[in-house]
Structure 1
Amino acid sequence: MLHTPAPTDIAATDARVRPTTTAPREYVHRAALAEVFLTADWSRTDEAHFTMKAQWPRGHSFFGPVGGTHYDPMLAAETIRQVGALLAHVGFDVPLGHQFLMWELNYRVQPSRLPVGGAPAELRLDVTCSDIRRRAGRLTGLRYEVLLSENGREIAGGDARYTCTSPEVYRRLRADRLAEPLAAPAPTAPVAPRRVGRRDDFDVVLSPTERDDRWRLRVDTRHPILFDHPGDHIPGMVLLEAARQAVHTLAPVGRAVLPVAMDATFHRYAEFDSPCWIETEPAVGYPGSAERLVRVTGRQDGEILFTSITTVADLPTA
């Protein structure tokens, strides 16, 4: 007979234990259940304060451990994004089908508290909302802050701002893009994976140019994580990954580095039918610190798509 032991934090005789489930995938705008990091355990303190729970997997096909030892900080970015969607639906009664436009997303992690342990990271998320905007009683946008902690210790924090629109308004705003679905663009040649901290061409979102500080955004809609479901524009998380990979090129090949902080601002939709260019400016160091700060800008058709200020640090050795 095969015996599978229960996790040690669950008492087999306690009938009051409620099995943990993920938040509904629809509420965090994901198609794949495996990509839902929030659980169905959330509560509201008042109009502007919520408590949520999340779980980070020890292994992931895309957001895998950096250097094999530390949680990928981009998990914090994706968790914060999912919080915003869940907030809208369960906290402010935004119907499913409404469209969300992220204008800002910022995070910072504490590298020394990111080592992957013997079980998935069980996180508490303390959420504070501000600048809550409504029209005719319906939420149209807000800003929110998230504090992520594990066993009472803060491991990351961040904030974001978005607006949301009804399907009818979105169809009017994007009429020219929704009239005829665009065919998926053919992926351009990738940068060498090790140059951007990846192992496989499939996970690379940059294509080389004649300059060392400029790349073309590589779009492959077959990627199951970055393009979890069909859309009429390139997702913001693809742009954040492009910023992370661009910053990684400044490190020696093969060295594991952590994007410990990112402040990203989005200015317009990233379209599929025109090249997007990713550019970096020289890294700036902090006096007395090993952290480096890099500005990344995305451009399309001569206009700025997004900017990010990314702080990178070497992987902690202990």
Structure 2
Amino acid sequence: MLQTPAPTDIVDSEALRGLTTTAPREYVHRAALAEVFLTAEWCRRDEAHFTLYAQWPRGHSFFEPVGGSHYDPMLAAETIRQVGALLAHAGFDVPLGHQFLMWELNYRVTPALLPVGGAPADLRLDVTCTDIRRRAGRLAGLSYEVVISENGRVLATGNARYTCTSPEVYRRLRADRLAEAATAMAQEPPTASVEPRSVGRHSEFDVVLTPTERADRWQLRANTRHPVLFDHPGDHIPGMVLLEAARQAVHTLMPGGRPVLPVAMDSTFHRYAEFGSPCWIETEPAVDYPGSPERLIRVTGRQDDEILFTAITTVAELPS
């Protein structure tokens, strides 16, 4: 039987290539096995270089193909996020249960290489770690770059930066919020949603924006019962929910409601998104690139009169 490598055992991926299984869900901070995109194949090239593998499903309950034909670029964002968690546990001996705070997450995809084929996309991830920071011998933070390829063709690139802390320190820092989290997670989501088609969705269940009196401003709609966006209980709103809010916000600016690809996103997180306080999502007018089908839109999230996150998003219509 295939044995899951221990956290300190970065093994030669060739030993696992004959039989593919997902990475341990705990290593990528997911509760549902269906939400694990990384496989249990990984190897360390040297202290700062790793090779991992992933698979994107042809169909997904939330990250469904855009326009029914192209992989959702947000799969790249989630894959890059999962890489950081797995590296911490499997590559740098961070114990399970430690908490992570993502400060940056950026990606860019190649639209022409995103059509969904006749089988799931089996991907190679080449990872370079930079700015490896330790405190008392334990990993305290990490920056990393990821190149995602399929059959030698680069589908996407990206990078991220995070810090991590022990459960004990986290409880001291977040004691008041931890006490509020259970109540907040049980609250009903906002009753109103924008029209799902206006944000590229089919169901209100998947909408994360509540309309306001302004066409360029929404309230974040955090439905804690959503099985993908809220995969497990937590004391704050996950960063992927904020990125989805940015994606849906820019979709409203596209003419005719046609399917669009968020081909790139450069996001910076300034603080935790808390439950129990409205979070406002705002867009700035789109900037067109002369001679290019791409448009750039800045999305800002604010909470309690402070900037929560920014996401500079580049969008383009589906390739013909």
**Bin for the TM-score computed over the shorter chain:** over 0.9
Gap runs ≥5 in structure 1:
1-15
Q: Secondary structure at the match of 2:95?
A: coil
Q: What is the one-letter code of the residue matched to 1:123?
A: L
Rounded to whole Å, the distance in 2 between the matches of 1:266 and 1:249 is 23
Name the residue aligned to 2:305.
302
1:142-291 to structure 2, matched below 5 A, reads: 142-180=142-180, 181-183=182-184, 184-188=186-190, 189-291=192-294
- Contact 1:277–1:300, Cα closer than 8 Å, also in 2: yes
Rounded to whole Å, the distance in 2 between the matches of 1:244 and 1:178 is 29
1:127-138 to structure 2, matched below 5 A, reads: 127-138=127-138
Q: Secondary structure at the match of 2:273?
A: coil
Offset at 1:186?
Answer: 1.9
Q: Secondary structure at the match of 1:80?
A: helix
Rounded to whole Å, the distance in 2 between the matches of 1:155 and 1:17 is 21
Gap runs ≥5 in structure 2:
1-15
Offset at 1:252?
Answer: 2.7
Offset at 1:187?
Answer: 1.3
- Contact 2:17–2:41, Cα closer than 8 Å, also in 1: no
Q: What is the one-letter code of the residue matched to 1:276?
A: C
Rounded to whole Å, the distance in 2 between the matches of 1:71 and 1:290 is 19
Rounded to whole Å, the distance in 1 between the matches of 2:183 and 2:250 is 30
Offset at 1:254?
Answer: 3.5
Identify the range of structure 1 (165-174 vs 176-185) with the bigger mean alpha-carbon deviation.
176-185
- Contact 1:185–1:272, Cα closer than 8 Å, also in 2: no
Rounded to whole Å, the distance in 1 between the matches of 2:179 and 2:241 is 24
- Contact 1:185–1:219, Cα closer than 8 Å, also in 2: no
Q: What is the one-letter code of the residue matched to 1:212?
A: A
Instruction: Give the TM-score normalised by structure 2.
Output: 0.93
Name the residue aligned to 2:72.
72
Cα deviation 1:2-51 (Å, max 9, x = unaligned): xxxxxxxxxxxxxx972210000000000000000000000000000000
Offset at 1:185?
Answer: 2.9
Q: Percent identity over the alignment?
A: 82
Q: What is the one-letter code of the residue matched to 1:182?
A: T
Name the residue aligned to 1:105.
105
Q: What is the one-letter code of the residue matched to 2:37?
A: F
Cα deviation 1:261-300 (Å, max 9, x = unaligned): 0000000000110000000000001111110000000000
- Contact 2:251–2:257, Cα closer than 8 Å, also in 1: no
Q: Secondary structure at the match of 1:88?
A: helix
Instruction: Give the TM-score normalised by structure 1.
Output: 0.94
Alpha-carbon spacing, 1:215–1:17, altered in 2? closer, same or farther (3 Å): closer
